[in-house]
Copies of this chain bind each other. A is one copy, B any other.
Amino acid sequence: MSKIWQRGIRYFSYASSIEKGQSRVIDASLTLIRERAKLKGELVRLIGGAKASASLLGVPLGHNSSFLQGPAFAPPRIREAIWCGSTNSSTEEGKELKDARVLTDVGDVPVQEIRDCGVDDDRLMNVISESVKLVMEEEPLRPLVLGGDHSISYPVVRAVSEKLGGPVDILHLDAHPDIYDCFEGNKYSHASSFARIMEGGYARRLLQVGIRSINQEGREQGKRFGVEQYEMRTFSRDRQILENLKLGEGVKGVYISIDVDCLDPAFAPGVSHIEPGGLSFRDVLNILHNLQGDVVGADVVEFNPQRDTVDGMTAMVAAKLVRELAAKISK
């Protein structure tokens, strides 16, 4: 769809009214997020007592995937699964999700509407970064981002780092390193986001866990950027280390990025890239629960509702990841 509109709009882009209209649409989009973030920040501060509080921000962007576009439909499905009533509202370690100090929601960045107005990817990525900063503006809210495909981690981490004024440590769970220099000519590809992050200096350490689809370029880029790549081939050996991580000291904190396909497809069939041989859900929770560090932001990405089971098992999986991350962030 967007191609059509962009073409139409480019044709008339000499007309300054079109150009101004695009800017006004972007401004209105950011205003809407700012107002929602303000309202939620106000609410949490009124209740009081929270030093850090997770706040959901949906980024329904799927056009930078190399295969299938379903992750653009994920945020509303994950929200539905978080509150669906078939499970209670406590996290495994006893936090109460209905408490606004643990979890609020500022809604979605209107990605599709912005693209449909002919706005290009550079500006769109900036809108995502701006949206994350608007959330962080409201103490004690911290962004817990619902993807979308993995391309969104770049503008999100960039915003977190810029807002905090320095690099973070990143725990990245994924079947793939997503660190190609450029994938199919797209520098914003979901397969390149961590190359952009490392180039930008937004992260000090980058730990990649669950890796099992990696080629020579992936390994070379890993070395180039000093990435600590834990491949599934050696997971039984590495488990001890990974279940006792301590991150974020001496930098601005820890950012956690979970690509749902870090899990074996038996546990999470609703992904675009089926890659057998992954982590179990309990493996992931064991790593998260035992991680020591100040979690300043997080994302859950690449859930593809168009590939999920009829009863939405992967939506429940993504939702539980979000729930446990909210517990990890809030304090």
Specify which of B88, B98, B285 is in contact with A4 (CB 8 Å cutoff).
Answer: B98
Specify which of B4, B73, B105, B107 is in contact with A110 (CB 8 Å cutoff).
Answer: B107
Whether B17 pairs with A214 at a CB distance below 8 angstroms is: no
Specify which of B79, B98, B276 is in contact with A267 (CB 8 Å cutoff).
Answer: B276
A289 to chain B: closest CB distance in Å? 7
Whether A9 pairs with B43 at a CB distance below 8 angstroms is: yes
A91 to chain B: closest CB distance in Å? 10
A226 to chain B: closest CB distance in Å? 20
Whether A79 pairs with B281 at a CB distance below 8 angstroms is: no
Whether A110 pairs with B32 at a CB distance below 8 angstroms is: yes
Q: Determine the chain B residues whose CB is within 8 A of the CB of A93 once the complex forms.
A: 233
Whether A285 pairs with B233 at a CB distance below 8 angstroms is: yes
> With A and B bound together, what is the CA distance between A35 and B114 in angstroms?
11
Specify which of B24, B42, B231, B276 is in contact with A21 (CB 8 Å cutoff).
Answer: B42
Specify which of B8, B89, B92, B105 is in contact with A116 (CB 8 Å cutoff).
Answer: B105
> With A and B bound together, what is the CA distance between A62 and B216 in angstroms?
33
Whether A320 pairs with B277 at a CB distance below 8 angstroms is: yes
Q: List 21 A-B contacts (CB under 8 A).
A: A4-B98, A12-B46, A12-B47, A18-B43, A21-B35, A25-B35, A27-B35, A28-B35, A29-B32, A32-B32, A39-B117, A88-B213, A88-B215, A93-B233, A107-B116, A235-B282, A264-B267, A265-B316, A269-B313, A277-B285, A307-B311
A216 to chain B: closest CB distance in Å? 7
Closest to A214 in B: B90
Q: Determine the chain B residues whose CB is within 8 A of the CB of A309 once the complex forms.
A: 269, 309
A156 to chain B: closest CB distance in Å? 19
Q: Determine the chain B residues whose CB is within 8 A of the CB of A231 once the complex forms.
A: 92
> With A and B bound together, what is the CA distance between A5 and B107 in angstroms?
13
* Copies of this chain held together in the complex: 6
Whether B32 pairs with A274 at a CB distance below 8 angstroms is: no
What 1/0 flags go to A112-153 for Cβ under 8 Å of B? 110011000000000000000000000000000000000000
What 1/0 flags go to A99-116 for Cβ under 8 Å of B? 010000111101011001
Q: Chain A: residues with CB nearer than 8 A to chain B?
A: 1, 4-5, 8-9, 12, 15, 17-18, 21-22, 24-25, 27-29, 31-32, 34-36, 38-39, 42-43, 46-47, 60, 67-68, 72-73, 76-77, 79, 82-83, 85-90, 92-94, 96, 98, 100, 105-108, 110, 112-113, 116-117, 212-216, 219, 231-233, 235-236, 264-267, 269, 272-278, 280-282, 285-286, 289, 307, 309-313, 316-317, 320
Whether A85 pairs with B67 at a CB distance below 8 angstroms is: yes
Q: Determine the chain B residues whose CB is within 8 A of the CB of A38 once the complex forms.
A: 21, 24
Q: Determine the chain B residues whose CB is within 8 A of the CB of A42 once the complex forms.
A: 15, 17-18, 21
